[in-house]
């Protein structure tokens, strides 16, 4: 296979590890029992075997993780959207297992969770692993969004694990996939199947985090890639001074990606979904806010600017959120009847006829592109596919109309020409930054140690990440400790609580203190591309989000 010079040089990179793991002589320390973040009684009832387990940390010295352990086999699954660093998690698992016993084997299930159910797998040999070290993408085994939730699927998993002598599965995924990992761990314990299940926190969205999981992997690299391009666009905007650039950024629900990119680039306008919800804003409020800033800049002769909008914005507008919630319940109750209609207009009519009067009116008032998306396209977890809603274009059109009206009233004197961009897929398979390369490799090594320590229902955890890697703290967090009950497809379900942007947290507070200055002036920062080689202060920078959260 032909490879680039960077890939060749990057293959030689040795990821940095927490000193406890690097010592090769790991001792496990158990902390106090945990409880779920909310709804303790319900979660305890649903997870009698995996509820209340202690947080564990790894330290230098002691017994487990030594080469004297008998060899065992492990299966790994990549689940959901791609995120930079997935290959390093797998190489970390591989090296971790080999350091425990060189005869341990690692199998990769192909194409996501469906590989486990359909018994599609490969053995990951050192030749394969070496080809993928420090590279972006999930192509080593592929990923998928099949939901593991049926007992039949779990039992198919037992069949293949028994056939391959697999004693543990590692599921690398976001909040939904790790929730399913925990359900699987609980089921395998109940059935005494002898198969452990460990999760790893992945998603560029950055919304799988809590006190013990400081960040999900991929967020660091993806936001650096987007910030590089936003910076380039800003330099173009500031050179030509003739366009407003409306830029939508991935992040299905939470606005972490958008906020981080704003902190790195200082655009003129940044919308944060969580704030829109807290302030009970309507689409019209948002349009007025944007148009006001465009008009102010135009009055000072600046007919250009940049705006960042999170792809999940629509779902945070309270009126639309209520509508989606009723829509989800209604569709869950009437799915069979709804599915009979093939024609889009008939489906939309069905929805309007079955919604409350208030929500039907809101649904009908939405631009057609948005109402169609809300009605038709869901992922296997029931989420609205916000990456398909062209919010950046919708906002630009609405602002343009508003400004035309203001022009007639003499409230706007200037020009308003827009360019639209959507950044998401561009960053999900980038070569991992040093942070993600190190963090992911460590998560993989930690997962191997959790298995060697007999743990199940845990998520691999690496903390203290704003410090140099040798000071990182390695361990495991019971997944049930992150859970609460939420409504999914019309039913209450145990799920990992999503981390939304905290409006009283460090990153948002800093942004809010600066945004007026950034709106009224041109304070752009041009971060440039990720640096893989060079001084540590350039190459090993963590995200601003992590820095401000841990100040
Ligand atoms: P995960 O939560 O699975 O990591 O995926 C997140 C994400 O990248 C979102 O940012 C985006 O909305 C979505 O995936 C796009 O999904 P798809 O890859 O199926 O188009």
CATH number where 531 lies: 3.40.50.460
CATH number of the domain encompassing residue 80: 3.40.50.450
The kind and range of the H/E element at 173 are strand 166-173
Helices (H), 255-356: 256-265, 273-278, 283-299, 313-316, 318-340, 344-354
Residue 77 in contact with residue 171, Cβ under 8 Å? yes
Specify the residue for token string 């305890």: 44
Examine the pLDDT at 389 and tell me if it is beyond 80.
Answer: no
Ligand 1: which residue has its CA nearest to atom 4?
Answer: 203
And the tokens for 401?
Answer: 């109309």
The answer to the question of residue 4 being in a domain is: no
- Say what the pLDDT of residue 461 is: 98
- The catalytic position among 175, 176, 205, 436 is 205
CA 205 to ligand 1: nearest atom: 10
Same domain, 263 and 396: yes
Quick one: pLDDT band at residue 65, thresholds 50, 70, 90? very low
Task: Please check whether residue 75 lies inside any domain of the structure.
Answer: yes
Identify any residues that bridge with 29 across adjacent strands, giving them in sequence order: 57
For 117-139, the pLDDT digits (tens) are 999 999 999 999 999 999 999 99
What is the per-residue pLDDT across 291-333, written as a single tens digit (0 to 9) for each? 999 999 999 999 999 999 999 998 898 888 888 888 888 888 8
> Mapping DSSP to helix (H, G, I), strand (E, B) and coil, where does residue 460 land?
strand
pLDDT in tens, 75-106: 999 999 999 999 999 999 999 999 999 999 99
Torsion sign (Cα): 37, 41, 47, 53: positive
Asked if 152 and 99 sit in the same domain, the reply is: yes
Q: Compute φ and ψ for 177, nearest 5 degrees.
A: -70, -35
Q: Of 357, 373, 388, which one is at a domain's C-terminal end? A: 388
Quote the domain boundaries for residue 178: 68-218+432-457+464-470
User: What is the C-alpha to C-alpha distance for residues 384 and 374, in angstroms, rounded to an integer?
Assistant: 6
Spatial separation of the C-alpha atoms in residues 138 and 315, rounded to whole Å: 29
Q: How far is the CA of 160 from the centre of ligand 1 (A)?
A: 28
Q: Are residues 115 and 194 in the same domain?
A: yes
User: What CATH code is carried by the domain that includes residue 352?
Assistant: 1.10.10.480
65 lines ligand 1 (CB under 6 A): no
Same domain flag for 368 and 319:
yes
Phi, psi of 454 (to 5 degrees): 80, 15
Establish if 79 belongs to a structural domain.
yes
Q: Is 116 inside any structural domain?
A: yes
Residue 525 has pLDDT above 60, yes or no: yes
State whether residue 420 is helix, strand or coil: strand
Residue after which a domain boundary falls, among 336, 360, 388? 388
Mean pLDDT of the chain: 94
If asked whether residues 73 and 155 sit together in one domain, one would say yes
User: Is the C-beta atom of 176 inside 6 A of ligand 1?
Assistant: no
Q: Whose CA is nearest to atom 12 of ligand 1?
A: 252
Co-location of 121 and 227 in the same domain: no
Both 208 and 328 in one domain: the answer is: no
CA distance 398 to 314: 14
Whether 284 is catalytic is no
Q: Domain for residue 48, yes or no?
A: no
pTM reported for the whole predicted model: 0.93
Q: Is residue 296 part of a domain?
A: yes
Residues 384 and 436 in one domain: no
**Are both 296 and 322 inside the same structural domain?**
no
Q: Are residues 409 and 519 in the same domain?
A: yes
Q: In testing the pocket of ligand 1, which one of 387, 425, 429 has its CB within 8 Å of the most ligand atoms?
A: 387
Is 15 a member of any domain?
no
- Contact between 351 and 327 under an 8 Å Cβ cutoff? The reply is yes
pLDDT of residue 156: 97
Contact 217, 83 (CB under 8 A): yes
Cα–Cα distance, 150 to 114 (Å, whole number): 12
Average pLDDT, stretch 214-234? 98
Where does the pLDDT of residue 66 fall: very low under 50, low under 70, confident under 90, or very high at 90 and above?
low
> What distances in angstroms separate CA 113 from CA 65, 118, 149, one per listed residue?
28, 9, 10
Query: Closest residue (by CA) to atom 10 of ligand 1?
Result: 251
Q: Is residue 323 part of a domain?
A: yes
Residues 292 and 324 in one domain: no
- Asked if residue 243 and residue 116 are part of one domain, the reply reads no
Q: How confident is the model at residue 393 (pLDDT cuts 50, 70, 90)?
A: confident
> Which residue is associated with the tokens 């972006």?
136
Domain count, the chain: 3
Ligand 1 atom 14: residue of nearest CA: 81
């Amino acid at each position: 296979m032909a490879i680039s010079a960077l890939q060749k040089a990057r293959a030689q990179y040795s990821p940095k590890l927490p000193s406890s793991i690097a010592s090769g002589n790991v001792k496990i320390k158990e902390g106090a029992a945990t409880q779920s973040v909310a709804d303790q009684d319900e979660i305890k009832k649903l997870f009698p075997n995996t509820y209340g387990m202690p947080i564990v940390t790894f330290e230098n010295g002691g017994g487990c993780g030594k080469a004297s352990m008998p060899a065992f086999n492990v299966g790994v699954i990549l689940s959901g959207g791609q995120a930079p660093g997935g290959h390093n998690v797998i190489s970390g698992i591989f090296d971790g297992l080999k350091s425990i016993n060189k005869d341990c084997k690692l199998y990769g299930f192909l194409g996501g969770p469906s590989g486990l159910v359909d018994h599609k797998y490969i053995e990951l040999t050192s030749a394969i692993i070496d080809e993928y070290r420090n590279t972006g993408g999930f192509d080593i085994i592929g990923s998928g969004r099949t939901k593991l939730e049926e007992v039949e699927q779990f039992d198919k998993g037992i069949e293949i694990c028994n056939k391959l002598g697999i004693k543990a599965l590692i599921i690398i995924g976001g909040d939904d996939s790790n929730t399913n990992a925990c359900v699987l761990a609980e089921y395998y314990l109940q059935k005494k199947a002898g198969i452990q299940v460990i999760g790893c926190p992945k998603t560029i969205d950055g919304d799988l985090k809590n006190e013990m999981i400081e960040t999900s992997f991929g967020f660091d690299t993806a936001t650096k890639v987007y910030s590089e391009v936003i910076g380039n666009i800003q330099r173009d905007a500031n050179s030509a001074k003739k366009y407003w650039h409306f830029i939508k950024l991935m992040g299905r629900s939470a606005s972490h990606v958008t906020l981080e990119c704003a902190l790195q680039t200082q655009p003129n306008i940044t919308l944060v979904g969580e704030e829109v919800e807290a302030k009970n804003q309507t689409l019209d409020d948002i349009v007025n806010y944007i148009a006001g800033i465009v008009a102010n800049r135009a009055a000072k002769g600046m007919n250009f600017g940049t705006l960042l909008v999170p792809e999940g914005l629509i779902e945070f507008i309270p009126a639309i959120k209520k509508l989606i919630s009723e829509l989800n319940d209604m569709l869950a109750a009437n799915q069979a009847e709804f599915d009979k209609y093939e024609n889009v207009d008939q489906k939309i009519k069905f929805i309007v006829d079955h919604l409350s009067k208030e929500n039907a009116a809101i649904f009908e008032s939405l631009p057609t592109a948005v109402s169609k998306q809300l009605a038709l396209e869901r992922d296997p977890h029931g989420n609205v596919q916000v990456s398909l809603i062209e919010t950046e274009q919708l906002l630009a059109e609405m602002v343009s109309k508003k400004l035309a009206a203001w022009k007639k009233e003499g409230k706007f004197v200037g020009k308003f020409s827009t360019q639209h961009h959507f950044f998401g897929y561009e960053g999900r398979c980038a070569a991992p930054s040093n942070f993600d390369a190190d963090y992911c490799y460590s998560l993989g090594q930690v997962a191997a140690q959790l298995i060697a320590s007999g743990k199940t229902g845990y998520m691999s955890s690496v903390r203290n990440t704003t410090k140099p890697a040798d000071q990182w703290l390695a361990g495991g967090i019971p997944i049930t400790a992150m859970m609460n009950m939420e409504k999914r497809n019309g039913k209450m379900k145990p799920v990992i609580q999503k981390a939304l942007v905290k409006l009283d947290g460090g990153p948002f507070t800093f942004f809010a203190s600066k945004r007026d200055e950034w709106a009224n002036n041109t304070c752009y920062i041009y971060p440039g591309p990720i640096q893989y080689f060079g001084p540590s202060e350039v190459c090993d920078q963590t995200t601003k989000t992590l820095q401000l959260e841990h100040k």
